[in-house]
């Protein structure tokens, strides 16, 4: 799972670096990607952020995520320096949507790689 905040029109520097460095490994790994950022959940804002995330993924075309999601971001001006501390405070996180997505991902991974009920204590993984 790769999650990244979006900043200044791009995925976070660390996420871009990780994709660049590990794209070969990620190309053969089931990976889910999410980005956080839009100030509101209005279609225009979310689409803009989604395009920013897509641009980062487009640089590593061999990585084909199982799913890509964009969630609303949170902005606390008091934690920013000038001039970003002049931006309006906002919190567009939709916890229900985030939890639903996380649950879906867990199910998706489980279906691909089920852990049998009696193997959890030893931590072993059963591949059926």
Ligand X SMILES: Cc1cc2nc3c(=O)[nH]c(=O)nc-3n(C[C@H](O)[C@H](O)[C@H](O)COP(=O)(O)O)c2cc1C
Bridge partners, residue 10, by sequence: 7
**Residue where the block lists tokens 């956080």:** 36
Q: How far apart are CA 123 and CA 8, in angstroms?
A: 41
Write down the least CB distance from residue 36 to ligand X, Å: 5
* Identified binder of ligand X from the candidate list 1, 7, 99, 120, rule CB under 6 A: 7
Q: For the stretch 89-111, what's the b/e string if a residue is b when 16 or more beta carbons lie within 10 angstroms of its beta carbon? A: eeebeeeeeeeebeeebeeeeee
Based on the shown chain and the rule CB under 6 A, indicate whether residue 34 belongs to the binding site for ligand X.
Answer: no
Based on the shown chain and the rule CB under 6 A, indicate whether residue 36 belongs to the binding site for ligand X.
Answer: yes
Q: Which residue is nearest to ligand X (CB)?
A: 37
Based on the shown chain and the rule CB under 6 A, indicate whether residue 81 belongs to the binding site for ligand X.
Answer: no
Pick the closer one to ligand X by CB: 102 or 115.
Answer: 102
Q: How far apart are CA 99 and CA 70, in angstroms?
A: 13
Based on the shown chain and the rule CB under 6 A, indicate whether residue 102 belongs to the binding site for ligand X.
Answer: no
Q: How far apart are CA 19 and CA 10, in angstroms?
A: 13
Write down the least CB distance from residue 9 to ligand X, Å: 4
Based on the shown chain and the rule CB under 6 A, indicate whether residue 52 belongs to the binding site for ligand X.
Answer: yes
Tell me how crowded residue 36 is: count the other CB atoms within 10 A of its CB: 20
Chain contacts with ligand X (rule: CB under 6 A): 5-9, 36-38, 49, 52, 73-75, 80, 84
């Amino acid at each position: 799972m790769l999650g990244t905040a979006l900043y200044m029109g791009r995925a976070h520097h660390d996420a871009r670096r990780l994709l660049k460095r590990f794209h070969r490994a990620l190309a053969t790994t089931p990976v889910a990607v999410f980005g956080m950022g839009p100030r509101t959940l209005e279609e225009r804002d979310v689409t803009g952020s989604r395009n920013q995330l897509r641009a980062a993924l487009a640089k590593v075309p061999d990585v084909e995520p199982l799913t890509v999601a964009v969630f609303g971001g949170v902005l606390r001006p008091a934690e920013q320096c000038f001039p970003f501390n002049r931006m309006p405070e906002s919190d567009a996180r939709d916890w229900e949507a985030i939890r639903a997505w996380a649950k879906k991902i867990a199910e998706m991974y489980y279906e691909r790689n089920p852990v049998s009920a009696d193997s959890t204590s030893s931590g072993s993984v059963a591949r059926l």
